[in-house]
Structure 1
Amino acid sequence: MRAAPNAGNVCQEKAAHISKLLQQLYPEARCSLHYQNVFQLLVATMLSAQCTDARVNTVAPLFFQQFPTPHAVAQASIEALEACIQPIGLFRVKARNLKNACRILVADYSGDVPRTLKDLLRLPGVGRKTAHVILGNAFGVPALPVDTHAARVSQRLGLTHHRDPNKIEKDLCALYPPESWVRLSHQLIQHGRQVCRSHRPLCTSCALNNYCEAYLQGRFS
């Protein structure tokens, strides 16, 4: 079946309206993890998997006091790392990943965090989302991390009909220019946390409801 005339343009127009509204709503949206350098951002992002940023922000400063560099983490015992991050979910797996990732940083990158997606994905515990957080926020590389909030908001708005984060990322990147990707990711995340929540979303008061596929189809009210 042939696509309707200008279907792509309509989608682009809708995407542009959504972007404009998000910019009005969240002009200062940014990464909510606290960090002072790229190594700290890497660790905090790895710790944030299946954990709230607020919890990570309470634990990470204590971690960095004990283990301020990749060399310190690489040389630490697994038991010491686990004890430091125990309040965070999956702390045993994360401690092992942190140690192994820092071993690679020390051995192959002189203790520096690499600047390419390919190299970041070599690090244990670093997936595509984490790598894009590093690239976009630490190095200014166009990247669009898709977490659970960004995925949920994008799906409900109808910007994507995929569930796989990599496919959602591809759809969003096709709709928006690279220079907007980092900002857009933060804005989608903030909207997902504050308004388009997983349970009991605030649809009737949402500034985007005129463009929301889920709301217009009556899936939420």
Structure 2
Amino acid sequence: MEEDRVPLIPAQKETRKVLRHSVRGQILDALRAALVDGELVPGEIYSGPALGERFGVSATPVREAMQQLALEGAVECLPNRGFRVLSHTARELAELAEVRALLEVPVMLRLARRVPAETWEALRPAAAATAEAAAAGDVPAYAEADRAFHREVLALAGNDQLVQVAEELHRRAQWPLPGAARVRRAELVADAAEHSALLEALIAGDLAVVESLVREHFATAAP
């Protein structure tokens, strides 16, 4: 049968089991983590029943989660076969980085001019979370912490639609390229350090440094 040849997440990776409550959301989070970490390989086809067995749940929440991932541009639905992980190109990721910069840089610079230091101080835990995930070399945890940091910064603008659109772009920018090597710990640590440096500049009210760091952060996000 076709399904017998559908690959699972690699056996050497221990997939976390999920509780019965909020099953769909937990499966969606687990699949997103597997995509970011390269466990779900671009171009490969995965079936709902096979992944459901792996996670210890029925195929239904897996299919529901995969349908959401299809809306996010991560997979495509193949009737009677399963879901193929979509391949992305370096150009696509570079374009996403450019769009993110056009959206976020002006907002961050505007916030830098009007948000008080004590408000920026409250973002220290978010920056620390990126550093902790980076130090551990945990790519999925870093991806989540990275989005959370940017989300908390942009939330200060008071525009929910901005936060939602920016997070969707950010998530799409985190899908790995086909055949790309796993992100190295040193790369994560360097990226996390940019968050900390930016936050210190914001607290100090050093607008010139803020602008330089913000623009550099998005420039290095492009492949």
* TM bucket, shorter chain: under 0.3
- The structure in which a higher percent of residues are strand is 2
> Which has the higher relative contact order, 1 or 2, with Cα contacts under 8 A spaced 6 or more apart?
2
Q: If the length of structure 1 is used for normalisation, what is the TM-score?
A: 0.26
